[in-house]
């Protein structure tokens, strides 16, 4: 049996290498690729996706999985291994094999080509704030995505098949139940804040030199433990993190000279993802388990760094005097207390990635509902902008003035990543739950006040990073906190923090 497992790992090694090669082309498309290169770039990506599909659906892999007793009832196989991660490895290989064998090579290549073209059209449409440029591309991507869901199969809804790609072993109903239990509470809590005296953040809206923003951001990045000999930081339209190799994890951000929070918190957020990818243990490196448990867990890492750490009073007690040296013209007369309140201002807004942590999950619930309607056919692509604006009005009391600040703000649908959005909100919930334990086990605030971020990184590495995808999200939550995902931790976290800021 052990020989079969080793042979399976050898066969799937090429799958990992191909995924990294595809990521390299995608990273280039989002950063430095000249505009006219999109045509062949799409063909290159389609070719590699086809090769990857053939690799993961190899009959040799199927035979080995069969020999190991992996099936729908026993995805981890029927035999015990001396190595603790082997069962998880078989389970993940079987999950990917089952999905990919249900997809034709033709469909895989068509999706790769169309999403590449779609992303290029989205960038153009976003710059011109003109949805009509993007609409025909989204129609093609959505049609192919529906075909994908039908081919994979599902228990209750086509959305289940899409969600599983990003949040394995989780159903649409489970996510919907969690959202339904948190949305009324969030709406009520936001209402209490609205009735309180609003904090001032006008000092953040002044001119902050972008070069200085980058220098300060890179300092924080290094203090967090990110190593430039294993990655780099660049600029893109939409911030992201991507893994091009076991020692090549790259980050991007974007800067606004008149909105300081965008660049810095984008860097901290993406670094949280990057540190996770760089922290996989030796037992999972180089194989299919060398990835995040799920995107919800992945997002918990970025949100822990961005919000629990990066927007905490203790963090800025150390870093604020340094920031004042970079921007004395804007911050000399702003106290630490006022700065802390300003960067944590709660106010309904249009842009998801710039939303405060109280209103953020409502942005996700909005997209979750629209995605399900698109996949089910209840909503047409043509009517999407109107539906988006209507829900934004219902959720936030505001209406986007244009497409760029509304339906065109996210890259996920151009990528064909339907089912991705819910993981952001799940990440917020997991982050609060994990952090509640971390704060009991180590002196988080004491470390932050001294500018020491490594204690936090070490705890996250030990509890989460080293495991890669060898545990499911629920298993990880049970191991760390003693219970599965529980939204009450998130509610308590927000209450404790924002009652102090807004006296609610």
CA–CA distances in Å: residue 13 to residues 46, 112, 386, 406: 20, 21, 46, 41
> What's the pLDDT score for residue 238?
82
Residues recognised as catalytic:
270
Side-chain-side CA neighbours of 188 within 13 Å: the count stands at: 7
**How are beta strands 233-235 and 241-245 bridged, if at all?**
unpaired
Distance from C-alpha of 306 to C-alpha of 326, rounded to nearest angstrom:
21
Comparing C-alpha atoms, which of 302, 285, 293 is closest to residue 248? 285
Q: pLDDT under 50 in the chain at which residues?
A: none
> What's the pLDDT score for residue 80?
82
> What's the pLDDT score for residue 93?
96
Distance from C-alpha of 347 to C-alpha of 183, rounded to nearest angstrom:
16
What domains can be seen in the chain, in order of their start residue?
A: 2-153 (no CATH), 172-502 (1.10.1370.30)
pLDDT digits (tens, 9 = 90+) for 157-208: 999 999 999 999 999 999 999 999 999 999 999 999 999 999 999 999 999 9
Tell how far CA 82 is from the center of its chain.
Answer: 34
> What's the pLDDT score for residue 9?
93
């Amino acid at each position: 049996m052990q020989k079969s497992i080793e042979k399976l790992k050898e066969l799937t090694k090429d799958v990992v290498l191909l995924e990294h090669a595809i990521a390299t082309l995608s990273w280039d498309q989002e950063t430095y690729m000249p505009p006219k290169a999109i045509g062949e770039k799409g063909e290159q990506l389609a070719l590699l996706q086809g090769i990857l599909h053939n690799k993961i659906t190899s009959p040799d892999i199927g035979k080995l999985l069969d020999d190991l007793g992996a099936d729908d009832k026993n995805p981890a196989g029927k035999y015990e291994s001396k190595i603790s991660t082997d069962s998880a490895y078989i389970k993940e290989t079987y999950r990917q094999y089952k999905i990919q064998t249900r997809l034709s090579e033709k469909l895989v290549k068509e999706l790769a080509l169309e999403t590449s073209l779609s992303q290029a059209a989205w960038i153009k449409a976003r710059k011109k704030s003109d949805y009509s440029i993007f609409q025909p591309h989204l129609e093609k991507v959505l049609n192919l995505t529906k075909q994908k869901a039908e081919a994979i199969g599902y228990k209750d809804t086509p959305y289940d098949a899409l969600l599983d790609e990003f949040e394995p072993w989780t159903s649409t109903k489970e996510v919907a139940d969690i959202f339904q239990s948190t949305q009324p509470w969030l709406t009520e809590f936001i209402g209490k804040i609205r009735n309180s005296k609003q904090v001032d953040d006008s000092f953040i809206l002044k001119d902050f030199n972008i070069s200085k923003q980058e220098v300060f951001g890179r300092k924080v990045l290094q203090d967090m433990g990110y190593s430039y000999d294993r990655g780099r930081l660049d600029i893109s339209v939409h911030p992201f993190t991507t893994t091009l190799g076991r020692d090549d994890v790259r980050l991007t951000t974007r800067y606004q000279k008149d909105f300081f929070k965008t660049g810095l918190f984008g860097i901290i957020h993406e670094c949280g993802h990057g540190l996770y990818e760089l922290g996989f243990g030796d037992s999972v490196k180089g194989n299919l388990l060398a990835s995040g448990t799920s995107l919800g867990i992945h997002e918990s890492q970025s949100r822990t760094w961005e919000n629990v750490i990066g927007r905490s009073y203790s963090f800025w007690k150390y870093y604020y005097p340094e920031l004042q040296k970079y921007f004395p013209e804007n911050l000399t007369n702003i106290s630490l207390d006022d700065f802390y309140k300003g960067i944590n201002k709660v106010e309904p807004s249009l842009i998801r990635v710039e939303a405060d942590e109280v209103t953020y999950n409502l942005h996700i619930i909005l997209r979750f509902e629209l995605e399900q309607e698109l996949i089910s056919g209840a909503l047409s692509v043509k009517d999407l902008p109107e539906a988006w604006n209507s829900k934004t009005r219902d959720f936030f009391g505001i209406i986007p003035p244009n497409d760029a600040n509304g339906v065109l703000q996210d890259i996920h649908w151009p990528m064909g990543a339907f089912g991705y959005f819910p993981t952001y909100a799940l990440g917020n919930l997991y982050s609060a739950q994990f952090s509640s334990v971390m704060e009991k086990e180590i002196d988080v605030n004491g470390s932050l006040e001294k500018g020491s971020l490594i204690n936090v990184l070490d705890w996250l590495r030990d509890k989460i990073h080293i495991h890669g995808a060898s545990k499911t999200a629920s298993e990880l939550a049970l191991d760390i906190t003693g219970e599965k995902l529980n939204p009450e931790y998130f509610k308590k976290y927000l209450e404790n923090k924002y009652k102090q800021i807004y006296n609610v």
